């Protein structure tokens, strides 16, 4: 069995069937880089959530703080106040929805899990809040551990690596080992090279090109390249909402290299591209 198929099978526990997992992005923030302010109101957020689910999202990733380069932190209280009403509202409309909370704060993760979220997406990979491991361990829920060099406020100033692929792989291996040591179940770990988080264009491309080095760690791999500015550097497309084609290229290439989770704004386009990629790569397609 190929690498992609093996990891796709592992993803089975969180969704209806094997195959790539599409994570729809729902930013409940005033300042996210591509959709800031669009879904601050729970009503508008719930409507967008329903649209993402109808387009084929397997999971909705709800975030209450932007991590775009240069962004400012918000308080945990503010973050909870943004995220929890939206999680509750989505689940009252669509009880079957699988929700992930994009936070590095244990208090926000706890509140979102209590409200019915099923995943935690921690962009600090347990470095942001020492209590996060016990929250994940107690909830026995899946967690996404992402690589980031520096912190959002300054991470794009001068990212530097000797060997970006080796350093990101070693970081994720160490974080996963720490997580297991702290009581997180290995089968609940998903790793993410953190496209655009303390990386220049060449770093992002090297990671996408050599994704097999990350896949070889043995955990499902998530890619979050959606609408990011490195796509503009290549294509010249300035408006984030217009970077769908560039995003789809990253999705298909990363899927072929063994990634199985795709965190995207444009669910329909990525879902369709993945269906075609899947049909080409796996003969099981009918
Ligand atoms: N990217 C963003 C936010 N969270 N989480 C993971 N695991 N991987 C990513 O690549 C990732 C992430 C940034 O994108 P977005 O949420 O659209 O923007 P903002 O941080 O401005 O809200």
pLDDT tens, residue order, the chain (286 aa): 344 444 444 444 555 457 899 999 999 999 888 888 888 889 999 999 999 999 999 999 999 999 988 888 999 999 999 999 999 999 999 999 999 999 999 999 999 999 999 999 999 999 999 999 999 999 999 999 999 998 888 888 889 999 999 999 999 999 999 999 999 999 999 999 999 999 999 999 999 999 999 999 999 999 999 999 999 999 999 999 999 999 999 999 999 999 999 999 999 999 999 999 999 998 655 5
Number of Cβ atoms within 10 Å of the Cβ of 273: 22
pLDDT given at position 156: 83
Q: How far is the CA of 283 from the centre of ligand 1 (A)?
A: 33
**Which atom of ligand 1 approaches the CA of 122 most closely?**
7
Task: Specify the residue with its C-alpha closest to ligand 1, atom 18.
Answer: 32
Number of Cβ atoms within 10 Å of the Cβ of 186: 11
pLDDT given at position 6: 42
Task: State in Å, rounded, how far the first CA of the chain is from the last one.
Answer: 18
pLDDT given at position 144: 98
Q: How far is the CA of 1 from the centre of ligand 1 (A)?
A: 32
Q: How far is the CA of 286 from the centre of ligand 1 (A)?
A: 34
> Best substitution site from 224, 240, 267 to test ligand 1's pocket, by max atoms within 8 Å of Cβ?
224
CA 196 – CA 142 distance, rounded (Å): 23
CB-defined site of ligand 1, < 6 Å = 25, 27, 29, 32-34, 63, 66-68, 102, 121, 123, 144, 146, 192, 194-195, 222, 224, 263
pLDDT given at position 284: 59
pLDDT given at position 161: 96
pLDDT given at position 118: 96
Contact 193, 211 (CB under 8 A): yes
C-alpha dist (Å) from residue 73 to 78, 105, 241, 278: 10, 11, 24, 39
């Amino acid at each position: 069995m190929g690498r992609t198929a093996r990891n796709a099978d592992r993803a089975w526990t969180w969704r209806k069937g094997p195959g790539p997992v599409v994570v729809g992005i729902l930013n409940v923030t005033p300042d996210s880089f591509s959709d800031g302010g669009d879904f601050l109101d729970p009503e508008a957020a719930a409507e967008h959530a329903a649209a993402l689910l109808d387009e084929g999202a397997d999971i909705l990733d709800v975030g209450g703080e932007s991590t775009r380069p240069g962004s400012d932190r918000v308080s945990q209280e503010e973050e909870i106040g943004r995220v929890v009403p939206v999680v509750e509202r989505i689940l009252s409309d669509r009880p079957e929805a699988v929700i992930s909370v994009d936070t590095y704060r244990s208090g926000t993760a706890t509140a979102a899990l209590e409200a019915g979220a099923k995943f935690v997406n921690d962009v600090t990979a347990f470095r942001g809040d020492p209590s996060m491991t016990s929250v994940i361990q107690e909830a026995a829920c899946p967690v996404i551990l992402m690589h980031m060099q520096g912190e959002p406020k300054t991470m794009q100033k001068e990212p530097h690596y000797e060997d970006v692929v080796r350093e990101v792989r070693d970081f994720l291996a160490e974080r996963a080992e720490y997580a297991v040591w702290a009581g997180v179940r290995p089968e609940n770990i998903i790793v993410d090279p953190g496209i655009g988080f303390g990386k220049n264009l060449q770093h992002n491309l090297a990671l996408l090109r050599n994704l097999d080095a990350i896949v070889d760690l043995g955990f499902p791999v998530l890619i979050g390249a959606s609408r990011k500015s490195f796509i503009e550097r290549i294509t010249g497309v300035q408006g984030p909402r217009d970077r769908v084609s560039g995003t789809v290229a990253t999705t298909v290439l990363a899927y072929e290299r063994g990634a199985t989770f795709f965190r995207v704004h444009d669910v329909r386009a990525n879902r369709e591209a993945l269906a075609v990629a899947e049909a080409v790569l796996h003969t099981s397609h009918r």
